[in-house]
Amino acid sequence: MVNAFDDQCSVQWFAPRKPRGTWSELNKKRVADLIANGLMRPEGQVNVDSALVDGRWEGLDAHERLEVPPDLAAALNASKARANWDSSPPPVVRKFSLGSARPRNPTPETPGSKKPPEWTPRTSASSSTASDGVYTPAA
């Protein structure tokens, strides 16, 4: 968010990026301006370099060009909803196609990438082999 500081200056808050965050065209322009003006900090340059290497820098390019991802195109064509999709305004297209634009390679830093806990049956007190149907996490 950019806020006016006075008649000539504005103030913008820059927070650290999330480990797997993608880069929008607007953010890439801001990075270019920071670099051109000698204002890019080393920590920020590390994030930019990392995004360039692992593909996050281009992660939203197709999405911002309103390209329909192949999996979504197949679903639209299968349901005969393609005409409705093509007539939708750009904000609607961006909203619903964003899920397909996100990186699909989960890493330990991304939510939902943790493996579920291993579960073992709890044995009843009367029998060491009988299961009471209640599950507890393995130790």
The winner for highest mean pLDDT among 43-57, 96-110, 123-137 is 43-57
- The answer to the question of residue 80 being in a domain is yes
From residue 57, alpha-carbon distances to 72, 80, 139 in Å are 22, 33, 41
Rounded CA-CA distance 112/58 in Å is 23
- The answer to the question of residue 119 being in a domain is no
- The answer to the question of residue 76 being in a domain is yes
Taking residues 56-65, report their average pLDDT: 86
- The answer to the question of residue 123 being in a domain is no
The band of 81, judged by pLDDT with boundaries at 50, 70 and 90, is confident
Let me know whether 20 and 55 are in one domain.
yes
Taking residues 111-135, report their average pLDDT: 50
- The token pair at 95 is 């909203």
Let me know whether 83 and 51 are in one domain.
no
- The answer to the question of residue 118 being in a domain is no
Rounded CA-CA distance 114/119 in Å is 15
CA angle centred on 76, ends 75 and 78, rounded to 5°: 65
- The answer to the question of residue 9 being in a domain is no
Cβ count within 10 A of residue 48: 20
Q: Which amino acid is at 53?
A: V
In this predicted model, which residue has the larger pLDDT, 94 or 41?
Answer: 41
Let me know whether 54 and 26 are in one domain.
yes
Count of the separate structural domains present in the chain: 2
Angle between helices 25-36 and 42-54 (to 10 degrees): 140
Let me know whether 19 and 49 are in one domain.
yes
β-bridge partners, 87: none
User: What domain range includes position 31?
Assistant: 14-59
Q: Which residue has the tokens 């990075």?
A: 31
Let me know whether 49 and 74 are in one domain.
no
Q: What is the pTM of this model?
A: 0.54
- 134, pLDDT greater than 60: no
Using alpha carbons only, how large is the chain's radius of gyration in Å? 24
Let me know whether 27 and 49 are in one domain.
yes
Let me know whether 28 and 48 are in one domain.
yes
CB hemisphere CA count around 131 (13 angstroms): 8
Let me know whether 51 and 79 are in one domain.
no
Let me know whether 52 and 33 are in one domain.
yes
